[in-house]
Amino acid sequence: MHSELRTNLEAIRAAQASPLEIGFVETKMPRVRLFWADKSVARAPLSYEPGIAVIVSGEKIGYFEDRRISYGPGQYLAVGLPVFFECETFASKEAPLIGIFLSMDPVELRTLARELATHDPATLSPRTGLGIEPLTMPEPFRDAVTRLTRHVLNAAEAAVLGPDTVKEIFFHALQDRHGRVLLSQTHGNRPEARIAHVLRELEKTPEVIADVESLAHAAGMSTASLHRHFKAVTGLSPLQYQKRKRLMQAKSLLTFGNLGVAETARAVGYASAAQFSRDFSAYFGTPPSRAELYPYPV
């Protein structure tokens, strides 16, 4: 892996007031975050907003239903839709996980996509699926990420040069194969863009289970169309997705939030702790009272 890129990321981490073994922190630049781990992290709930995750060292494996997504040094993950899944991290002090996550405002991403389309019209595949694809960083992409890490280390560069370098990185991602999954958010009339809107709406009230009719109205689709395209994108029906997300959030609260079972049930919107326990046990194969304690996922 590119030595300067790793050196810069290690310097960014070292600049933290108290660099913990595992962390996910903001940098001097908005929408640019560093993540790391000095030890392996067992499979645990994790959410990703749309953006780009670059891995410099270490390895991660994401699990979404029957999909297994592995990515490591020299790769980046293009996330086209808001997703909530489970992730496993492989790292040690000798070979830590080090990476950087970039997010971009959907409006800015649409503007960039329109600018790009005037010179290089991109064709989206008929189905972009879940919107998570690990890719090898091409040289121009890697050079831009390296420059970005230099900017983060310098306040003036972060403010003046940083935004254009972030834009350049997304420019390269939009031109990359599968990285074009990010375009699915920029085409407002495509089903993926409408489902992305629905997923963002669900994030606003995670403890509430929305009915299919309400979601269809928010997406400007018929209920049948919403159900079909939602399942094509996420692999689940709208109600299955919401129930799964609610249980994943509950597991995160139980393992990281020091909440009891009844408190957790209420926090994720269950009126009955008994029903919550039944659903949790059916999904994870263990009762919520015995949820395994994990280190914080990154």
**Distance of alpha carbon 33 from alpha carbon 251, whole angstroms:** 24
pLDDT for 1 equals 46
Angle, CA of 159, 38 and 137, to the nearest 5°? 55
pLDDT for 276 equals 93
**Distance of alpha carbon 276 from alpha carbon 283, whole angstroms:** 11
Is 240-290 in CATH node 1.10.10?
yes
pLDDT for 206 equals 73
pLDDT for 203 equals 78
Backbone angles phi, psi at 210, to 5 degrees: -85, 140
Instruction: Give the tokens for residue 74.
Output: 């020299």
CATH of 3-176, one of 3.40.50.880, 2.60.120.10, 3.40.50.300, 3.30.70.990: 2.60.120.10
pLDDT for 45 equals 76
Cβ neighbours for 204, distance < 8 A, ≥ 6 positions apart = none
Contact (CB, 8 A) for 75 and 137 = yes
Contact (CB, 8 A) for 248 and 84 = yes
Angle, CA of 282, 204 and 78, to the nearest 5°? 80
pTM above 0.85, yes or no: no
Within 10 Å of residue 33's Cβ, how many Cβ atoms?
A: 19
User: Mean pLDDT for each 10-residue chunk of the chain (298 residues)?
Assistant: 82 76 82 90 78 91 81 86 81 91 83 79 52 82 95 94 94 76 64 80 80 89 91 84 87 77 91 92 85 49
Query: What is the domain partition of the chain in residue ranges?
Result: 3-176, 191-235, 240-290
**Distance of alpha carbon 220 from alpha carbon 154, whole angstroms:** 45
DSSP state of 73: T
